[in-house]
Amino acid sequence: MPWWSRIANVFRRDASGLNSELDEELQAHIAMRADQFMEEGVPAAEARRRAERLFGNTLLVRERTRDADVAQWLDALLQDLRYAVRMMRHSPVLTGVIVLSLGLGIGANTAFFTLTNALLLKQLPVKDPARLVSVEIGRPGEARWGDSFTNPTWEEFDRRQDIASGAFAYAAQSFNAGASGETRMITGAIASGRVFETLGVEPVVGRLFAGSDDRRGGGSDGPVAVLGYDYWQRAYGLDPSIVGRSILLDGKPYKVVGVAPESFYGIYVGQRFDVIVPLGTETYRTSDPKLLDARSTWIVSIVARLKPEWTQARANERLKALAPGIFEATVPPNRPPKIVQDFLANRLRVTDAARGLSAVSDSMRSAVLLLNGFVALVLLIACANVANLLLARATVRAREFTVRMALGASRGRLLRQSLTESLLLALAGAALGLGIAQPAAQALVSISGRSTAQMSLDLAPDGRVLLFTTAIGIFCGLLFGMAPAWRAARNTLLPRIAGTAGDGKGRLRASLVSLQVALSVVVLVGCGLFLSSWQNLSKASLGFDPNHVVLAKVDLGTLTLDQDQRAEAVEDVRRQLRSAPGVEEASASILTPMGSGMWSSLIVGDDGKGGRREHEIYYNAVSPGFFRALGTPLLAGRAIEAGDRKASTQVAVVNESFARQVFGVGNPVGRYFEEGVAASKTGFATQKVQVVGIVRDATYRDLRQAPPPTMYRPLAQARALPYVTFAIRGPGEVEQLIPIVRAAFAATGSRFSYTLQTYPMRMRDAMVTERLLAALSTLFGALALGLAGMGLYGVLAYSVTRRSGEIGIRMALGATAAHIRNWVLRQSGITVLTGFAAGLLLALWLAPVAKTLLYGVKTSDWRVYAASLATLLAIAFTASYLPARRATRLNPVQALRHD
């Protein structure tokens, strides 16, 4: 019979139809042989008996014939599945508990894998992404290379390169889409003209800009813009008539020429653009004709599409030859010889960019990968719990399995049946997990974002996510299904029929609980480490007071004012803010602590031996009132004052680290150092700067970084003034300051566009990774403890029930309630301490993986391990108390009759 007919027979709608046909065929054969006997003169009844005896066991023949007419493996599988469904329906509470437990565990794992997939594994939705490479800069032997370039370096690379069929420069940017007053910031990007051509992206409506649009000030259509699909939907309701109309970006009109496809977010993973504009129009948007010629402004990344005949290795060899010429042509000005020498020593290389460039910090990626491990441990604990539940059910079903063996079922068939039930439960849990994974992943993205930059990822499930969920479901089914399947298949026939068999005194179930405890210890230790790290970071000495402060950032680049006019305008706004009711102090500065920017300056100081030594120092330009507004203590001398003008003595206030590094011991107030300001015949010119004050060390940019040597120069004496941030301090809550700040800016005639942020919000943004790790590890720790406690309670309760007879004998022989209670608690203690010892060793081995994400706490901190043990013992005692109490209340006579 053909194989397809055998498979078709398995799915025949009439279950008994095939058996009826076989019976008719068998009876026809018997009748034919009986006719032959009757032709020989044998009576009809005797002929029938002879024919049946000659034919043999008709039932056995029918079964053998049926087996030949169906796909046996498929038929057996369907029988097992039908029986498994009946068993699930027979125990709805048990089924619901198992499916829900697995659904939550698998859903959490799938959610984190979805996040990992979007961050690290998905390729860009562009044409042939495998040919895309990112250009990096660095020096041979260095572990980390950068991917940021100046525009002159990009232009020189594009002019000289011959490895790529297309290349483009790209940079993330934010635009103010509001007309005036408080900003309405949207995410955006700037890119060179061939970006869409190189990526192979087609527009939804209109057109995408090209090389002809990438001109200083704009092409034939003037400054143009392309909208992201999501922003087109959100802001314009998918109205196609937006093409050809103008929109305002930072107060300048741009003509919309098209909309990018829905699937294209840009090349930065984690950051979706709302608007993208040509790189050349930056001189128009910022009103700075020299911006794109600046050789010290590192603003763009470079991506290229390799030609078909070029491999990455061959391209890197070619870039070794091209790099010296590119860097010689783009040496930054106003740099000392050592800096120039280091710059010329740089080399170029390409790396894979099929998955895009990451806008997500290394710490966030590490945190996501680490949390993947946490949820995997929680799932293993859940699997151990499910295995214990199924072991208990297998004990209840022991007589059923024994009867089936007595009727001829093989041990292999029982093993397969039990595994089928486990796999069906696991796949039901996986289906539930897949349903909750995407909302959970969206929630993770939401809590991982910052107030000023929400992370945006493509979280749509793809084949990789579906494969992962299916694989993890099958893995879990096999993992928790093996123990009960093995128990079912190794039934001893006679003791089970007699009802006298044991189950190994619960050793297997106790071992599973010890495993749960061990894994819970790892999760608890991780939870303790991350909570301690977050608390330490929250209590870290900042050197300033962020409470009661509102920040207002103003981009001065869009104003057609020279440097001196900008400084005067900033001082006018500062005075307006300072005089507002409810404001204690207001200041302006280029940078504020915990911001995203960083400036540095090269200075020359005394080396203590009569010589000169160069130092790279962190730089900030500040107005009068800066230290008072931020609550930074002045330790000696004076602060920046209104009299520190451009024409007056060049002065600076320095922090403690600056004083130690540049001047050594002693009071630096009144002493001088030299600051690099311009190129000269010797390659570097300096100006003398006098130290007029010293302030306490304060965090500059990163909470984890020790306060660096920093100098604070007057805003009026600043090298440049592209933007400032006003810091406004009041006596009350920051929410009460916000309307006051808005009113003060309105009183200036809406001359400035400003972005408001409270300082406490900035601090929360700075600790988003630590807060995420602390919150989620605490959640996983609670889940792990709950599951371990449930497992321990189940084992002890089962043990008390199973050993009721023994307890009755002990009580009949004089054992007191305290003896029985201590006996049960001792069982619990042995199980918990065995698991804790194993978990302790595992935690000590795994803890160094999290070292880079910790702050102020060692991975071997004994307090964390002691707290984990105390918490575990408390949960164990709670889980053990009820079974122990029940054991002490057993009636000895009833207990002796239990079996």
Contact 259, 206 (CB under 8 A): yes
Lowest mean pLDDT across 83-87, 158-162, 601-605, 830-834: 83-87
Angle ∠(551,695,740) on CA atoms, nearest 5: 20
How far apart CA 787 and CA 104 sit, in angstroms, is 12
Average pLDDT taken over every residue of the chain: 81
Max distance between CA atoms of the chain, in angstroms, equals 141
Q: How far is Cα of residue 617 from the mean position of the Cα atoms in its chain?
A: 34
* DSSP letter for each residue of 739-802: HHHHHHHHHTTS-SEEEEEEHHHHHHHHTHHHHHHHHHHHHHHHHHHHHHHHHHHHHHHHHHHH
Residue-wise pLDDT for 117-167, tens only, equals 888 888 889 999 999 999 999 988 787 888 899 999 999 999 999 999 999
Which tokens hold the place of 41? 């003169």
Residue-wise pLDDT for 301-344, tens only, equals 999 999 999 999 999 999 999 999 999 999 988 777 777 888 89
pLDDT of residue 75 exceeding 60, the answer is no
The pLDDT value given to residue 152? 94
Which tokens hold the place of 414? 């029982």
Lowest mean pLDDT across 418-422, 642-646, 813-817: 813-817
The pLDDT confidence band at residue 391, using thresholds 50, 70 and 90, is: confident
3-class DSSP state of 43: coil
Rounded-to-5 percentages of helix, strand, coil across the chain: 55, 15, 30
How far apart CA 198 and CA 766 sit, in angstroms, is 36
pLDDT of residue 766 exceeding 60, the answer is yes
pLDDT of residue 258 exceeding 90, the answer is yes
Lowest mean pLDDT across 93-107, 173-187, 598-612, 885-899: 885-899
HEC secondary structure over 152-216: HHHHHHHHHCCCEEEEEEEEEEEEECCCCEECCEEEEEEECCCHHHHHCCCCCEECCCCHHHCCC
How far apart CA 820 and CA 325 sit, in angstroms, is 86
Lowest mean pLDDT across 104-108, 233-237, 274-278, 638-642: 104-108
Residue-wise pLDDT for 226-244, tens only, equals 999 999 999 999 999 999 9
Under 8 Å CB-to-CB from 132, ≥6 apart: which residues? 124, 126, 199, 303, 304, 305, 306, 352, 353, 354
How far apart CA 426 and CA 431 sit, in angstroms, is 9
3-class DSSP state of 623: coil
The pLDDT confidence band at residue 880, using thresholds 50, 70 and 90, is: confident
Read off the DSSP letter of residue 293. Answer: G
Which tokens hold the place of 491? 């039934």
CB atoms within 10 A of CB 307: 14
pTM for this entry: 0.76
The pLDDT confidence band at residue 832, using thresholds 50, 70 and 90, is: confident
Mean of the pLDDT values across residues 53-81?
A: 57
Residue-wise pLDDT for 175-220, tens only, equals 888 877 778 888 899 999 999 999 999 999 999 999 999 998 888 8
More confident residue, 294 or 131: 131
Contact 99, 422 (CB under 8 A): no
Mean of the pLDDT values across residues 683-707?
A: 85
Residue-wise pLDDT for 447-458, tens only, equals 776 666 667 777
How far apart CA 404 and CA 489 sit, in angstroms, is 11
The pLDDT value given to residue 37? 74
The pLDDT value given to residue 452? 61
The pLDDT confidence band at residue 799, using thresholds 50, 70 and 90, is: low
Residue-wise pLDDT for 612-633, tens only, equals 788 888 999 999 999 999 999 9
Contact 364, 448 (CB under 8 A): yes
More confident residue, 319 or 75: 319
Under 8 Å CB-to-CB from 320, ≥6 apart: which residues? 347, 348
Helix and strand element counts for the chain (H, E): 28, 25
The pLDDT confidence band at residue 70, using thresholds 50, 70 and 90, is: very low
